[in-house]
Amino acid sequence: MTVAELPARVWVAVCAYTALLPERGACALVEGHQVALFRTFDGDVHAIANLDPFTGANVLSRGIVGSRGEEPTVASPMHKQVFSLVTGECLDDPSVSVATYPTRVTDGRVEVGL
């Protein structure tokens, strides 16, 4: 598939940037997908799937935000597995990952790309 054949990305406005508190998660239903949104202290916004693959519960937005080195992370509130907010990879078990979604801020609104 060439770049010209790829479907166009759809950007969905989710919330005001200021509604996301630094180092806290929020969950949003975006076109039928539960997405966990995080604003880190550096001002970046990250979006990953809300589903914890270890438990099957939609809880990652309620996880503990932190970092490993320079990598922003979230730890599942269930069994504390840590996921990269950049790649979605589980840093405790690299064979497991969650989906990541691109984000952008337009006119003060957080948008998630699908």
Domains for the chain: give ranges and CATH numbers: 3-113 (2.102.10.10)
pLDDT on residue 52: 98
pLDDT band at 6; cut points 50, 70, 90: low
Share of the chain above pLDDT 70, in %: 94
Rounded mean pLDDT, 56-65: 98
pLDDT at 1: 52
CB < 8 Å & 24+ apart, contacts of 55-60: 55/79, 58/27, 58/34, 60/25, 60/36, 60/98
State the Cα–Cα distance between residues 23 and 41, nearest whole angstrom: 6
For the chain, what percent of residues have pLDDT higher than 90? 92
Q: Which residue shows structure tokens 């997908």? A: 33
Q: Is the pLDDT of residue 8 over 80?
A: no
Band of residue 9 on the pLDDT scale cut at 50, 70, 90: confident
Nearest 10 degrees: CA dihedral of 102, 105, 86, 90?
Answer: -80
Give 76's contacts (C-beta < 8 A, 6+ positions apart): 52, 54, 55, 59, 60, 63, 82, 83
pTM of the model: 0.91
Query: pLDDT grade, residue 95 (50/70/90)?
Result: very high
- The pLDDT, as a whole number, for residue 84 is 98
Beta bridge partners of 49: 35
Say which DSSP state 89 is in. B
